[in-house]
Chain A
């Protein structure tokens, strides 16, 4: 395997792995805080058990996210030393703030996990909420750093030198807001559907019904609301990308030729030799409208960009299609569920609705990963858009293919262990977390 491709693959793998856990860290604490709030208000022991069960899940996933995040802070330099040498002092600002936010998150989690029966109940509740707030803050800050790679700002690039560095301008670059908004909502959808799906599965199996139904409801409502507002942020993102990175937009839509009244292409197979998309559904004029707000606006095609500056079309297009289609699917499920809650209460006890959620368990995360493929592969061949090429940034050390294989092995085993542990947590619900279950083991201490 070529070292350059290996370095890119290793980075993609590490980020793709880390993203899942960081999303959990951003979202699940809020679910936990809702359950905890209900327990403090009503005294319902089931909510107490649910809060504890979720907090254990968060602890496992947070630790995995913390180590993979630590690793990433080293990998940036190990794989892309030339990039970090120039970019570090420009886009590092959000990273140093993120360090603070992440630290607060770790401390708050420490307080929360060991605070049962030791802290004032509402202060304890607040430390749980703080885990989520600081998680969200660190997510937004890291997105600001990534957005800078898409929309470099805060310096002057003169004759290959980076002058007049302004880290604040770099942080609040043009892509920052739309990327952060889209990703935070995506995190709620992905985590919400994953959590709801797991509890839905337990409901289908008829285990600890009251416990799992309460858990399901919190996750499903949050996920559904997020899924319904996501198209709005998607629209903001699309308009932003079409303005700043027209090649990325062209690749997303496999839009080869510049034209007015451009079609929006759904699905299909990209034919890169003949510059067209076979078997696709075409909606006339929609691409022009979505990217410029005008059905007749011209949309630049990928062929109008110099060949050495074009991102790979097929991968970006397929990833974009996967994201859109899964997003729509989750939106339909969300509409059905919200309808059931508000109007058709009888649906709530129906198996088909629960089954839909079980099937949707991984979909949010798949859409989220696909979205990141669009962002990152769509930026190629640049590591800093129009400033530095990815190939110029890669480490001179040979043999990266081997570290890539090693990392693949590690991530695969870590994933398996995490799934195994979560499975055991769920299996132990009747013994450890559901106090109404006759199998529940009452312990003298609250540890």
Chain B
């Protein structure tokens, strides 16, 4: 018995130190040294250093003046009752998905309700086929991207809310569209946070131009 347990115990400790401690710490060391931006979460900062988000993590955009991301199914603990959860879109401290199946009535009703809400804020969408990512929740609830088609559908609303020319905003979407990797892998997409940051830049620029002209 001892002849079996002793080497078993020793090999456990040896591989534990090697694979559970040395390996992850070595990767951390090299990662922080060679690729500090990515290793710390691809954070975007204001000039004063305040973190405004991560390029890779979506945010919950509210109001007609921003490009919106996909619906998110993430939740958070209910502040009034710790045993319950409440909807908390883009909660990057607790990723989650709807996990609603293809024959779920809750899903069917949500899709119809979201479609009606979208038509209420943008009447021109009525009767149109919508891109698939616009009404479906993502796997992570933190999807940073939307399809170029969904971004384009939002251009008239965003341009009107900000008093910008629609073709200018459309050009912004084009500039922020990323194609498939190596032409084959993945799908074309637009990073919503980066799109909204460049939108904010454009709004500032056009305002200061407007002031100068006045």
Indicate, yes or no, whether A interacts with B.
no
Chain B residues in contact with chain A, CB under 8 A?
Answer: none
